[in-house]
């Protein structure tokens, strides 16, 4: 299947909100802020091919601030030479239908262990989402939809490499706070 279609399918599966209301109002749009608690600039990583296929011609990511992180300066998995890192044009007016995977999946990240795909929440996640401790408020199909979206994205070899790489690092540093009970055999 063409990579573009894989992304379209994954965006569709992941078109779910963590809760029914605008969660940004709970925390002043913490995951959209462009500076971290330490004042450092904070952007969004796009998946391999995601900028070129899904974001390049949209007006979500500010092109002037777009950065390319290469394997010369950043620790990337073998076979991945670069990742795009971008900042949103207007985080208070998100164009939600085209928001990238990183924003759809939060607070979960994909995790592969013993040939099973899970979604997990890391202990050291950047945004301290207030909803992590309010599971009773979550949409009941959120986790399943996000898991299915990631399963689709693993059809792209470079994305799978990245997920495997991050999963190994996560296991080494014992950085898992919560694991959704379902998984998919891969
Ligand atoms: S894409 Fe939307 S949800 Fe994601 S950081 Fe930008 S404004 Fe926030
Ligand atoms: S940190 Fe949590 S509550 Fe705040 S905008 Fe992100 S997902 Fe929503």
Shortest-distance Cα residue to atom 3 of ligand 1:
103
| Percentage of the chain exceeding pLDDT 90 | 72
Q: What is the pTM of this model?
A: 0.94
Confidence grade of residue 171 (pLDDT, cut at 50, 70, 90): very high
Among the ranges given (89-93, 94-98, 122-126), the one the predictor scored with the smallest mean pLDDT: 89-93
What's the gap in Å between 114 CA and the centre of ligand 1?
Answer: 32
Read out DSSP for 43-67? -EEPPTTHIIIIITTSSSB-GGG-E
- Find the mean pLDDT for residues 168-174: 96
Q: Which atom of ligand 1 is nearest to the CA of 60?
A: 1
Does the Cβ of 60 fall within 6 Å of ligand 1?
Answer: yes
Shortest-distance Cα residue to atom 1 of ligand 2:
129
Q: Which atom of ligand 2 is nearest to the CA of 18?
A: 7
Residue in 152, 154, 146, 159 with CA at minimum distance from that of residue 119: 146
pLDDT over 90 (residue 24):
no
Domains in the chain: boundaries: 6-180
Residues 165 and 69 sit within 8 Å (Cβ to Cβ): no
What's the gap in Å between 51 CA and the centre of ligand 1?
Answer: 14
pLDDT recorded at residue 138: 95
pLDDT over 90 (residue 108):
yes
Confidence grade of residue 98 (pLDDT, cut at 50, 70, 90): very high
What's the gap in Å between 115 CA and the centre of ligand 1?
Answer: 31
The predicted-structure confidence for 38-78, as pLDDT tens digits, reads as follows: 777 778 999 999 999 999 999 899 998 899 999 999 999 99
């Amino acid at each position: 299947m063409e990579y573009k279609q894989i992304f379209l399918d994954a965006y569709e599966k992941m078109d779910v909100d963590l809760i029914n209301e605008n969660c940004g109002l709970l925390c002043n749009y913490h995951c959209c802020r462009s500076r971290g608690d330490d004042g450092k600039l904070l952007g969004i990583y796009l998946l391999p091919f995601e900028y070129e296929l899904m974001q390049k011609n949209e007006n979500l990511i500010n092109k002037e601030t777009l950065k390319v992180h290469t394997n010369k300066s950043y620790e990337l998995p073998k076979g991945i030479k670069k990742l795009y890192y971008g900042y949103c044009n207007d985080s208070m007016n998100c164009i939600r239908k085209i928001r990238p995977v990183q924003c759809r999946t939060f607070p979960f990240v994909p995790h592969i262990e013993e040939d099973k795909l899970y979604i997990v929440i890391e202990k050291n996640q950047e945004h301290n989402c207030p909803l992590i401790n309010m599971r009773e408020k979550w949409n009941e199909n959120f986790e399943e939809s996000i898991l299915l979206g990631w399963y689709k994205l693993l059809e792209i070899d470079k994305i799978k490499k990245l997920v495997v790489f991050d999963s190994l690092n996560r296991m080494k540093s014992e950085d898992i706070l919560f694991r959704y009970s379902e998984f998919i055999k891969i």
